[in-house]
A and B are shown apart, each in its own frame.
Chain A
Amino acid sequence: DAGITQSPRHKVTETGTPVTLRCHQTENHRYMYWYRQDPGHGLRLIHYSYGVKDTDKGEVSDGYSVSRSKTEDFLLTLESATSSQTSVYFCAINPGGRTEAFFGQGTRLTVV
């Protein structure tokens, strides 16, 4: 699993509340990514990071922010959760020098 841990694994939250998902890696990889998975859409990139404090937007970044203050942690925040953000969220890393991604176990988020 390339040393990737996502937390929490499941969460139910109410509309309008802030939510933070955490991705932790143990191998000091530079590149980290957040994707969301929805039926009929595959996985879509939300935000990504090239290093500490170096982040950028992906295809579906509206309503999300990220932070990376340490190499090992990449946080995804929903400032005010909406029902459209109900999804499965995957963190991924790229070991660098190789292009295949390794994914975490995923976080299932339900916004009610």
Chain B
Amino acid sequence: GQQVMQIPQYQHVQEGEDFTTYCNSSTTLSNIQWYKQRPGGHPVFLIQLVKSGEVKKQKRLTFQFGEAKKNSSLHITATQTTDVGTYFCAEVEYGNKLVFGAGTILRVKS
């Protein structure tokens, strides 16, 4: 079964509102990656988090890794229509195999 739980499943926001998706695991994660998939597209790597409590920013996107390395979040400030898509977290296992969360579908109303 899935080792990484991701919530929410869907999020509809008004353009300009903030958005957050969360990933949780019952076990300690070695590291976690985030991917974005545009509608009809393929997953594209966004970032990797490795250290406990790590915070990384990419423009309006803020990624956090929990102190216990059991959870992670992606926060988008002031969403834009270009942010629509599905956001996945993924744990990296031995051999660089990825265990994905179910994803959060983001829709932005303009």
Contact = CB atoms under 8 A, between A and B. Distances in A.
Interface in A37-63: 40-45, 48, 50, 58-59
Interface string B31-47: 10100000001111100
Chain A interface helix/strand/loop/mixed: strand
A104 B41 CA distance: 9
B95 to A, nearest CB: 7
A44 B90 CA distance: 10
Contact of A94 (B44, B96, B99, B102): B96
A71 to B, nearest CB: 17
B102 A58 contact: no
A106 to B, nearest CB: 5
A31 B45 CA distance: 16
A54 to B, nearest CB: 11
Nearest to B42: A103
A45 B102 CA distance: 13
Interface of A: 31, 33, 35, 40-45, 48, 50, 58-59, 90, 92, 94, 99-106
14 contacts: A31-B95, A31-B96, A35-B100, A40-B9, A40-B102, A42-B88, A42-B90, A43-B43, A48-B95, A58-B97, A59-B99, A100-B33, A103-B42, A105-B42
